[in-house]
C-alpha cells in the first residue's frame, strides 16, 4: 500500500505529544515529516493493523522508535517484535520490512552521513 503523506507541522518551540500528531486511517499507512534537512529527516508514521512496508534498503542507518501499538520489523530476514516505548536501529544497506501486528505508530529518524564507522553504541545507564 502506498504511504499517504500529510502536511508538515510547525513544531519549532512547541511542546507536543508526538503520537498525537498523526491519526490512524483504516487500511492505510500515513506519514508526516516533522524535520527534513540535508543532514537527515524525522518522520512519524501510523499503520493500520496488517499494513506494512515491503522489504527495502536505505543508504543510511535509521532509528525506529515505536510510539504506540505493536510491530514486527525484519532486518535481513530476522524478525523483531517491538511495542510502545521500544526502538531499533535499521543498519544502512541491510534489507528491512515493517508489518503492523496492531495499529501502530513510529517515529523514524534518519541521519544522512558518509561516515561508515560503526559508532552506534549506547552507554550503560547508572
Cα–Cα distance, 65 to 44 (Å, whole number)? 9
In a domain, 33, yes or no: yes
54 domain-assigned: yes
8-to-5, 34, 108, 119 alpha-carbon distances in Å: 9, 6, 15, 31
Domain holding 16: CATH number?
A: 2.60.120.10
Position 78 in a domain: yes
Nearest to 99, CA basis, from 67, 117, 81, 73 = 73
What is d(CA 49, CA 70) in angstroms, rounded to the nearest whole number? 9
Q: What is the pLDDT of residue 69?
A: 98
Does 52 reside within a domain?
Answer: yes
Residue-level pLDDT at 116: 60
34 occurs within a structural domain: yes
- Whether 117 is covered by a domain: the verdict is no
Q: What is the mean pLDDT of residues 9-26?
A: 88
pLDDT digits (tens, 9 = 90+) for 21-55: 999 999 999 999 999 999 999 999 999 999 999 99
Report the range out of 2-16, 20-34, 112-126 with the highest average pLDDT. 20-34
Dihedral over Cα of 12, 105, 29, 96: its sign: positive
Is 63 within a domain?
A: yes
The range of the structural domain enclosing residue 92 comes to 3-111
Number of domains composing the chain: 1
Domain contains 126: no
> What digits encode the pLDDT tens for the residues 81-98?
999 999 999 999 999 999
Amino acid at each position: 500500500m502506498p504511504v499517504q503523506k500529510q502536511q508538515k507541522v510547525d513544531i519549532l518551540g512547541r511542546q507536543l505529544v508526538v503520537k498525537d500528531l498523526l491519526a490512524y486511517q483504516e487500511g492505510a499507512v500515513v506519514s508526516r515529516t516533522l524535520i527534513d534537512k540535508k543532514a537527515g529527516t524525522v518522520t512519524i508514521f501510523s499503520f493500520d493493523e496488517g499494513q506494512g512496508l515491503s522489504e527495502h534498503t536505505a543508504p543510511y542507518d535509521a532509528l525506529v522508535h515505536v510510539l504506540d501499538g505493536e510491530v514486527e520489523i525484519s532486518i535481513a530476514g530476522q524478525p523483531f517484535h517491538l511495542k510502545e516505548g521500544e526502538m531499533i536501529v535499521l543498519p544502512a544497506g541491510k534489507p528491512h520490512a515493517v508489518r503492523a501486528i496492531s495499529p501502530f505508530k513510529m517515529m523514524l529518524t534518519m541521519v544522512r552521513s558518509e561516515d561508515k564507522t560503526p559508532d552506534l553504541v549506547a552507554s550503560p545507564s547508572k
